[in-house]
Amino acid sequence: MFHLRTCAAKLRPLTASQTVKTFSQNRPAAARTFQQIRCYSAPVAAEPFLSGTSSNYVEEMYCAWLENPKSVHKSWDIFFRNTNAGAPPGTAYQSPLPLSRGSLAAVAHAQSLVEAQPNVDKLVEDHLAVQSLIRAYQIRGHHVAQLDPLGILDADLDSSVPADIISSTDKLGFYGLDESDLDKVFHLPTTTFIGGQESALPLREIIRRLEMAYCQHIGVEFMFINDLEQCQWIRQKFETPGIMQFTNEEKRTLLARLVRSTRFEEFLQRKWSSEKRFGLEGCEVLIPALKTIIDKSSENGVDYVIMGMPHRGRLNVLANVIRKELEQIFCQFDSKLEAADEGSGDVKYHLGMYHRRINRVTDRNITLSLVANPSHLEAADPVVMGKTKAEQFYCGDTEGKKVRPVRRSLWPHIPGRSSAASPSF
């Protein structure tokens, strides 16, 4: 009815001045009479029945049509259907057909045109449902990520169902969709990058790409971030098709760094099995990940990286990232070595290091600093940020593009470790 009232509001009567000008030529001034003449502007002229005097009748016909479309004349049925489908003013109405031989064929043709009009409300609801589905994956996708390859976190091993064989019927029904919508094409919102260069995808492909981005062996939780630019950056890095593809050279580099990390932990375990060392078992991928961050930072012009971290994995980072001499690390495991020989009485997994070397990927000098770890890890972040600010001041880096911190909150938490050695970040 809003559309009907809008069309009726477009009926424009002539003003008094226009009426005077029309009749002034044939009548004397004393005999002038003013008549309110109503004219219609195109395209509303095609619907002359939408006037103020017929609004009650049109409303009654519309209410009757809502209850039973067959209770009104066919012309009213076609008019109301076209109006609900979003037809512009002047195009929804079709004059009644004469009772001739070809009238039935014309009625059938008009009916097909009405049925061809898209159901705008259903289309909008389906697109909103798809956007809600995409946002649900971005918010809660990490809860169904396959982070337990052995299935040991499930007490009843027989009840564990792999995520890849769970039917999608339930999650579609929650959003008002069903399996018949899987092959429909939907436009993608601006808050996702799963389409790549495509702006629309079938629902089946949308779900497949979302599961590849958020429900595999990497779980990412980021929707609590209030900065839209940061959220968009994370979405782009995880959702863009083919973003996780590496070249053969990159794969070799990652494998070599992962092997060095694993072998270092295996050697310490065999050589000093009873020594406390806070190993990195289960998270050896931290070393290639951290070295990749340093490589990318060096490519972008960073000359100074200051890091702060907990006990867990510190020796491995010192050996394979900072490149501290292995001889110095191994000597700290020797109980015969006095504290005065190293100049410090602190334990080996509290010590830090400052080292300047050439990055072999970019062939640029870069300074790496790992601050000494205090017994109370809450003090690690302020120390890192304070040292970074001091280095930026003395280097004249007012924009923070040369000296960058890697804070403790960015380091991964290794499940199964004691809270004193590896607090939750």
Q: What's residue 230's pLDDT?
A: 93
β-strands 12-13, 403-406 pairing: unpaired
β-strands 38-39, 12-13 pairing: antiparallel
Cβ distance 41 to 12 under 8 Å? Answer: yes
224 has a pLDDT exceeding 80: yes
43 preceded by cis ω (within 30°)?
Answer: yes
For the four alpha carbons of 95, 96, 99 and 102, in that order, the dihedral sign comes to: positive
- pTM of the entire structure? 0.58
| Residues whose CB falls within 8 Å of the CB of residue 65, separated by 6 or more in sequence, listed in order | 71, 72, 76, 77, 80
How many CB atoms within 10 Å of residue 40? 16
Per-domain boundaries in the chain: 58-85, 120-149+160-239, 248-337+345-410
The predicted-structure confidence for 19-29, as pLDDT tens digits, reads as follows 434 444 444 44
Classify burial at 316, counting beta carbons within 10 Å of its beta carbon; exposed 0-12, middle 13-18, buried 19 or more. buried
The predicted-structure confidence for 149-196, as pLDDT tens digits, reads as follows 777 776 554 544 444 334 455 678 888 888 888 889 999 999 999 998
Q: What percent of the chain has pLDDT over 90?
A: 20
How many CB atoms within 10 Å of residue 128? 13
Q: How many residues does the chain have?
A: 425
Which position has the token pair 């006037």? 51
Helix ranges (H only) for 193-325 are: 203-214, 228-239, 248-271, 286-299, 314-320
Across 4-18, 40-54, 269-283, 377-391, least confident range = 4-18
The predicted-structure confidence for 98-144, as pLDDT tens digits, reads as follows 555 555 565 555 555 555 455 677 888 889 999 999 999 999 988 88
Highest mean pLDDT among 32-41, 253-262, 413-422: 253-262
Q: What percent of the chain has pLDDT over 70?
A: 66
Query: For 248-337+345-410, which CATH class?
Result: alpha beta
Q: CA 262, 268, 270, 276: dihedral to nearest 10 degrees?
A: -120
Higher pLDDT, 32 or 228: 228
Q: What's residue 173's pLDDT?
A: 84
Cβ distance 131 to 201 under 8 Å? Answer: no
